[in-house]
Chain A
Amino acid sequence: MGPPGNSSARKREARAAFLFLLPNAAGFLAFTFLPLIAAFALSLTRWGITDTPSFAGLSNFAQILGVHRTHRGLAANDPEFWRYLYNTVFLMAGIPVGIALSLLLALLLNQRLRGRVFFRTLFFLPQVCSAVAVALLWKWIFESEIGLLNTGLRSIGVAHPPQWLLSTQWAKPAFIIMTLWMTVGGYNCVLYLAGLQNIPPELYEAAEIDGAGAWHRLRHITWPMLSPTTFFVLVMSVIGGFQGGFIAAFIMTDGGPAGATTTLMFYIYQHAFRWFEMGYASALAMIMFLMILGLTLVNWRIGRRVVHYQ
């Protein structure tokens, strides 16, 4: 910042700032802020897009989250919501494995090896490929009769390999496998690489003088020093997980079989753009937003305690 000027210079600077901000801020207000407010409002309505929205109070939320009494006890008003929430959380089961693999790749790429840029690019590729193309590719790999995976499994003696995308039991694991392939070498790995490069080499030198082995160095230096990265990566993966599964479901299974791969995101899409229940869909989106927000806040509090910053 320059030296504090007189008031007319300050006014001129403020006017310039206004002009610089105008294009982006106008777009921000019109396409982010206004829709955000509108989303709150819409979640309180019933709206079939062609009619006028009618105020519905909290009834959408009561329908989604509430329970009612039946002769067999309590039942959820919208059992599908809970089922698809379960699906969404189930699909996150791959996150810890993915993070561990990302860390492994980052540790390998951090060695002074020839061709590491080549490998980094190779590992990253799936992340930048069009997700539609990737979903089509894995749909083909998981094809139960002539797909690559099942022919491979049969050739090593598995007589009845899983039906993958056609099976309510195996469709979710199939999604997890595909997601792992897409993400292990991607953002998380690059974040770990950056984290590794920020660890001061003196720490390792000191440990080596003390005679600490490779495992010891990993356990007592690398891992704690990477904890901010691990924490960030975990939070971002979970936040991404809540919003995930749309393209895979849309291209590979249409949310099936029998809803086994319908995630919250796909459910919102169905309500909004197949059944045109804009109010209900907005309420669902709002609930997803609140879950993500809550998670972020809780994680911040925990994060401050467990994460080791230098």
Chain B
Amino acid sequence: MRGRAAIAAIAAYLLLAGLGFTMSLPLLWMLSTSLKDPRTVGLYPPRWIPTRPGTVAVRGKEYPAGLITERGRKTTVAIIGRGPGGVLTLDARGVERLVPESAMAPQEQVHLEWRNYVEAWKALPVDTGFLGLLHNADGFLVFYLNSLLVTICVTAGQLITCSMAAFAFARLRFPGRDVFFLGYVATLMVPAVVTMIPLFAMMRIGRLTDTYWALILPGLFSAYGTFLLRQFFMTVPTELEDAAKIDGAGPFAIYWRIVMPLCKPALATLGTFTFLHTWNEFLWPLIVIDDLGKKTLPIGLAHFQGPYLTEWHLLMAASVIVMFPVLIVFVIGQRYFVRGIALSGLKA
């Protein structure tokens, strides 16, 4: 019996590792492409380890390198010219030779082209960006700062407004509480696209399109966050509060000194959710922001695609730039994230 269990465990492990490897291939390919010399991006067969065309120095001068295979022996030579008759090569002793194109293979060396990241970072110069503070700045710097500003404001705002509302729903009695809460929950079913058009119209009427307000204001409040935190708050035992009430603590003291500290994991959950969601938000910024200097990372990346449509090494470098902080936040906050999914999902 124990032998069979061990075999099952090994099989599960192999399957898990195999699936994990397959799933990570696209991301590895993204990373690999982002570090390639542009000349090697389209090579067949695809190179997983980034390379660049090799060079060789003959008599103190750099030439592109080629590889000749003759009678099973490989020789690296310098390529000095190409013509209808073949490739003119120069070997290490300084002897020139004409070699047919078919006998010649490109010589490559492993090379990580970090300059792709610099190039992508600087590719979209912005006249005035990030609250009008930066002039002639690198595009992705501006997008980063915009994304950070919006994401931090929205996350902090939601943690405050949602925890307050959730506290009221979970801990205070007032007329109409249950009906009002049901109204909140009911709107969770409404697709965002339904409210998007009127919201856009409201922003236009209020002359808020193309401002940070348009990005931040609607995100400060959320029925989902209120619902999530209320579910958490309901699970916190009331004994501590009752004791505090006897000591004369008011609702605000209970909220701030007891419920909030006890619910740190819940707040971390909502914080992680909101951070990732706001950071990756695409459609809403796309329709309300037109000014390059106010664009957030996702719409900045989409904009970047325009002039660099087939420059895959730059597109992938820019994609890595956009994804990187998300991965960090996720790896740190994933415990809370996973708990939040389980709680909001199964108790819904």
A residues with a Cβ closer than 8 A to B are 1-2, 10, 13-14, 16-18, 20-21, 23-28, 31-36, 38-39, 42, 49, 105, 108-109, 111, 113, 119-126, 128-133, 136-138, 140-141, 143, 145-146, 148, 151-152, 155, 181, 184-185, 187, 190-191, 193-195, 198, 214, 228-229, 232, 236, 242-243, 246-247, 250-251, 265, 268-269, 272-273, 278, 281-282, 285-286, 288-289, 292-293, 296
Contact = CB atoms under 8 A, between A and B. Distances in A.
Contact of B201 (A24, A28, A49): A49
A163 B13 CA distance: 36
A75 to B, nearest CB: 27
B133 interface: no
A141 B30 CA distance: 9
A146 B193 contact: no
> Chain B, interface size: which category?
35 or more
B336 interface: no
A185 B193 contact: no
Contact of A21 (B168, B238, B242): B168
Nearest to A296: B189
A181 B26 contact: yes
Contacts of B169: 21
B27 interface: yes
Interface stretch (B78-86, B94-102, B106-114, B171-179): B171-179
Given A123-B20, A273-B287, A20 B251 contact: yes
B118 interface: no
28 contacts: A16-B168, A17-B251, A20-B164, A21-B180, A23-B220, A27-B220, A35-B195, A108-B16, A113-B13, A121-B334, A123-B19, A131-B298, A132-B319, A140-B312, A140-B315, A146-B46, A148-B29, A148-B46, A152-B46, A190-B342, A194-B346, A242-B191, A247-B282, A247-B283, A250-B286, A272-B287, A282-B194, A285-B196
Contacts of A132: 280, 282, 298-299, 301-302, 319, 322
Contacts of B345: 187, 191, 194, 229, 232, 236
Contacts of B30: 133, 137, 140
Contacts of A21: 164-165, 168-169, 180
